[in-house]
Amino acid sequence: MKLKDLLIPLTALLLFVSCDLLSDPRPHSEYPGEEYVAWVEQIFAGGQQCDPKDDYTPPDTKKVLHSRGITVFDTDKQHLGTCAACGCPSYAAIHYALIHIDKVEKAAEIGFKLSEGPNRTL
């Protein structure tokens, strides 16, 4: 095979790969951009140490906010320490959500507050 015969297929392959690498994996129609989003947070605690019937399930942050018409772009949790004594909560965590800046007040109506976001350093 001559180099000339390989030039068109190689060029097409290179173009396909380079376009795919440059594309943003987030849907452009949904994600508004960093300047239009904000982190909000709320602490959730529940359950009870030493309770054999303790089946506390923390709320799904995304579902809670979606139920109020708030689109969530990202979520995270930071687990908090609890005491080990009977009667202490079996679960405590800060739940974070990345939402559109225009929805912060609406999220505040259900207990979320503006936040710097989760600490994602190792």
Where residue 104 sits, what CATH number does that domain have? 3.30.70
Q: How many CB atoms lie within 10 A of CB 49?
A: 14
Domain assignment present for 20: no
pTM: 0.71
Q: What is the tens place of the pLDDT at every residue in 63-113?
A: 999 999 999 999 999 999 999 899 999 999 999 999 999 999 999 999 999
Number of domains the chain contains: 1
Reported as half-sphere exposure (CB side, CA atoms, 13 A), residue 77 has a value of 14
Strand-pairing partners, residue 41, are 96, 113
CA distances (Å), 100 to each of 10, 22, 35, 43, 106, in order?
Answer: 43, 25, 9, 20, 10
Domain assignment present for 8: no
Domain assignment present for 103: yes
Task: Identify the pLDDT of residue 24.
Answer: 47
Domain assignment present for 94: yes
Domain assignment present for 110: yes
Domain range enclosing 77: 34-115
Domain assignment present for 28: no
Domain assignment present for 80: yes
Domain assignment present for 90: yes
